[in-house]
Amino acid sequence: MPSHHFICYSTIDAQDFALRLSRGLETGFPSVTTWLDKEQIKASQRWDVEIEKAIPECATLLFV
């Protein structure tokens, strides 16, 4: 079963909004689990591999 809602955004002009959106969804009622690269990928992980794993497991893909 899908576990999160993947937020896809441009770092050029939408990063701040994507972060606010993720935090708002996570803290809202009901709480919505999101997947955002800046919050989920650790420094030691390869971002491209982690994103490739997260997309097929998502319930929805939100384009910002």
Mean pLDDT value of segment 45-54: 95
Q: What pLDDT, on a 0 to 100 scale, did the predictor assign at position 2?
A: 75
Instruction: Supply the pTM of this predicted model.
Output: 0.88
Angle at 57 between CA 21 and CA 22, to 5 degrees: 10
Q: Using an 8 Å Cβ cutoff, are 61 and 55 in contact?
A: yes
Q: What pLDDT, on a 0 to 100 scale, did the predictor assign at position 27?
A: 96
For residue range 15-33, what is the model confidence (pLDDT) as tens digits?
Answer: 999 999 999 999 999 999 9
Percentage of the chain with pLDDT > 90?
A: 95
